[in-house]
Amino acid sequence: MPAATRRSPMDSDYVCRLRTESNALVDTLDGHPIVGAVVRGDASRDDYVRFLWSTYHYVRWSGTLLAATAEGSSFRGTRCGTTESQGGPLSAQMIPSAKVKAMTTVGLA
Sign of the CA dihedral with 33 first, then 62, 74, and 87 last: negative
- 14 confidence band (pLDDT: 50, 70, 90): confident
Full-model pTM: 0.45
Give counts: helices (H), strands (E), the chain.
Answer: 3, 0
CA distances from 28 to 39, 88, 94, 96 (A): 12, 29, 31, 33
Q: pLDDT per residue over 60-97, tens digit each? A: 989 888 888 888 765 555 555 444 544 555 455 554 54
pLDDT of residue 47: 94
